[in-house]
Chain A
Amino acid sequence: MNEHTGFRRSLETIGVALLAIFLGLLASSVFVIIAGSNPVDAYQRLFCEGFGARGCETFGNLLVQTVVNEDTGESQTVFSPLHGTGGHSLALVLERATPLILTALSATVAFKAGLFSIGMDGQFVLGALAAAFLGYWFPAQLYTLFGVTDPELAPEALKTIMHIIVPAVCLGAAMMAGAFYSWIAGYLKVKLNINVLISTIILNAIAVQFVGYMVNYPLRSDMNNIARTARIDETAWLIPFNRGLFANADIEWFSGSRLGVGFIIAVVAAVLVWYFLYRTTRGYEQRMVNGSPLFARFSGIPGTHAMLRAMLISGALSGIAGAIEVIGVERRIVDGFATAGTGFDGVLVAILARESIVGILFVAPFIAGLEQGAINFQFGNLPRQLGNIIIALIILFNAMEYFLRSYIAAIWRKRHIFSGKSITPAPTEASS
């Protein structure tokens, strides 16, 4: 396989991923049939609900749809993702993918340095907590400082400045909270050689409980049935596209979704992480600590520094993810937010993307869309658990990368040598 060019290699990776999805669907059809539905219908619904536009019924509708013009009564064929509110569910998918991208990047940075940290969940909720608190506390301090009694009447200039400062402070604080929390696990690893996997699992549990406590008691804003923090100030809000940037452009594409600046931050972060890992000396050091520890040591790379740096960056990324979820989407923390497990989904995305930055940008929306599709399964009167089973099987087959890769390689070799012998295992064996 050494002669593989980069292009062919990535083609093969995509091929493996598609094959894995296909096998996952094949295997889950057993469960769909047990649940008494037609597998093809169920899959069409899963993907339509996840990625398709309104009225999407078949796989084909994901791309092309026939719509009836209400004024003229004529029906016309359109490219559905761009027609009217057609992109609505794509915007939703990207909204949900934003925290996944960031936590997956966080996991990738740690994995690349040979640290199997799964502390994204704890760092995520702590970052969210920091942003939720500063989101209403910091503007309130500023208003008092400038003698503004009613935020509604604050001078426009002050508001404009705050619109820039406050979100930045929230994001910065969340980064610091996440980085500090991740650093604890890194420090324990470097000084006491405590397994990062174990320490991060425990730290996650502590963070989730802590945030639950803070939301229920000290930061609880009112006696609402469900405990929640106060809503962040208007100036702390990372305003979604449909209200901010494109409010006047009247782009239906974003309507109903809270996709916003957070997504841009996530993409920029992906580029920065890629640049850091593959184009800087320190990123190289970090990869070498994992890839070739002996080489790293003999060439004088400070291993502990590289590890701690990786943990700090990883934590900061997860912290930003939490902050964006609060100041960009939810605008407050409601009890139950901490136990949702968004950070774990990020770890999953990182593993499925095989720690590739480009892969993460594709896998995160895919997983987000599938999860949305699974929830919306119920709108077709199918149980939502069925959707989750299908997702789980797709992920399972994706995790069998090496098996599938050798299978493809075997076919490839066979084609080249034209040997008559069959050495390929049947794909159905994989499902058992």
Chain B
Amino acid sequence: MVLRKWIGMAALASSLLLATSAVAAQDTAYVDPCLDASMEATEVASPPADNSDISFTIILPNPRGDRSFIDSAAGGAERAIAELGVEGTIVETAGVQEHDAAIRRAVQDSPDLVIMIAVDASTIEEIVDEFPDQNFAAQETFFFEPVDFPNLALTTILTHENSYLAGVAAGMLTRTGTVGSVGGLDTPGINLFIVGFEEGVRSVCPDCQTLRSYVGDFSDPVTGKEQALALYEQGADILYQVAGRSGEGVLEAAAETGNFAIGVDGNQDDLYPGNVIVSAMKRVDNAVFGFVQSVVDGSFEGGTQNYGMAEGYAGLSWDVGVCSRTFDEYGPEDMVAELPAVRAAIDEARAAILAGDIVVTNALEEASS
């Protein structure tokens, strides 16, 4: 009896202690908005509006299941169908050889909008030109020369700013003072990520060394893993992967060697829990949703738009809305303890970028100028 009483007392004391320490932590530094109950209350799902006279078709470049932008795009389309109450058709294709026929078939139904994800630029130009009465939207397509069709809305998501934020996280969490990036190809589109990331790292850790390597392919996880292992060998402990499916090899290398990695495009935190710190997300789903929304609002217009962090099209997997907290759960304790400080620094950097106090280099613009 006495023993049980003591245990009870101890439990009570420790819980009190925990509670006070938690309160102290909240007071001094950082309130996690994802754990804040008041935020959840705002997310009351409003009943979908009835826009069933508005229809769209989305063409996916490959079947779903890439755990990256294709799944993300399909997710955005599903959200648009559910929340906006529009009629939507999601079409998966099995590769480039089917894109043209699928788009042409979609045009036959004359939906209000045909959304094309990662379809080759020359295919898009040809079809958009051929069907001037059909509205199109394209995402994840890179045009070498700017195009201007009145019936094509083209969105480019700029990811240098959220890469900067990921760089801040990496710079604060690195032990060895060396971080690296594994890119798919040495192109402006990929360096957009890497340059932003490296600037983020140096902003919090000026002495940190940054390494780079390029796989030369976006669908070769084996080579991606080899290159990641080589970079870890050189002393890097956090790698930023910007290499599509090749990047899954980078994440795997992190898990195998007990090092860390940062995911890209989709939320990849859960692929190797505890080894993927955070993911720099490209919100293709928001872009798709935005396209549909513009048709519902009647604000659709052709032209090229660059969107980035300010519009919510690029962000981190830690952000409100995604709220990935996998690393908090599975990461090593000493790193987890630093996370509130890291998040506070990221919020600060984000505010500074949005206010224009920090200007992150846009490698894409530099390349084209």
B96 in contact with A337 (CB, 8 Å):
yes
Docked pose: A378 CA to B118 CA in angstroms: 19
Residue of B nearest to A96 (CB): B101
A256 in contact with B120 (CB, 8 Å):
no
Report how many A-B pairs have Cβ atoms within 8 Å. Answer: 64
Question: Which one of B84-92, B262-270, B299-307 is at the A interface?
Answer: B84-92
Least CB distance from A213 to B in Å reads 11
User: 8 Å CB contacts to A: which residues of B125-147?
Assistant: 130, 140-142, 144
B102 in contact with A337 (CB, 8 Å):
no
A336 in contact with B95 (CB, 8 Å):
yes
B120 in contact with A228 (CB, 8 Å):
yes
A337 in contact with B101 (CB, 8 Å):
no
Give 1 or 0 for each of A368-396: 1 = CB within 8 Å of chain B CB: 00001001101101001000000000000
B104 in contact with A334 (CB, 8 Å):
no
- Cβ of A92 within 8 Å of any chain B Cβ, yes or no, is yes
Residue of B nearest to A226 (CB): B120
- Cβ of A34 within 8 Å of any chain B Cβ, yes or no, is no
- Cβ of B109 within 8 Å of any chain A Cβ, yes or no, is yes
B187 in contact with A223 (CB, 8 Å):
yes
- Find B121's partner among A224, A337, A378, A379 (CB 8 Å cutoff): A224
- Cβ of B328 within 8 Å of any chain A Cβ, yes or no, is no
A379 in contact with B105 (CB, 8 Å):
yes
A interface residue count range (under 10 / 10 to 19 / 20 to 34 / 35 or more):
20 to 34
- Cβ of B98 within 8 Å of any chain A Cβ, yes or no, is yes
| Cβ–Cβ < 8 Å partners of A339 in chain B | 95
Least CB distance from B278 to A in Å reads 24
- Cβ of B238 within 8 Å of any chain A Cβ, yes or no, is no
| Cβ–Cβ < 8 Å partners of A378 in chain B | 89-92
Give 1 or 0 for each of A79-116: 1 = CB within 8 Å of chain B CB: 00000000010001000100000000000000000000
- Cβ of A222 within 8 Å of any chain B Cβ, yes or no, is yes
B96 in contact with A336 (CB, 8 Å):
yes
| Cβ–Cβ < 8 Å partners of B217 in chain A | 216
Apart from A339-B95, A378-B91, A379-B105, what are 19 other A-B pairs with CB-CB below 8 Å?
A92-B101, A216-B217, A223-B187, A223-B189, A224-B120, A224-B142, A225-B141, A225-B142, A225-B218, A330-B97, A332-B122, A336-B96, A337-B97, A375-B93, A375-B94, A375-B105, A379-B89, A379-B106, A381-B89
25 A-B pairs, CB-CB below 8 angstroms?
A: A222-B144, A224-B121, A225-B142, A225-B218, A226-B120, A228-B120, A256-B104, A256-B130, A330-B97, A332-B122, A334-B97, A334-B120, A335-B96, A336-B95, A336-B97, A340-B95, A372-B101, A375-B94, A375-B98, A375-B105, A376-B102, A376-B105, A378-B90, A379-B57, A379-B91
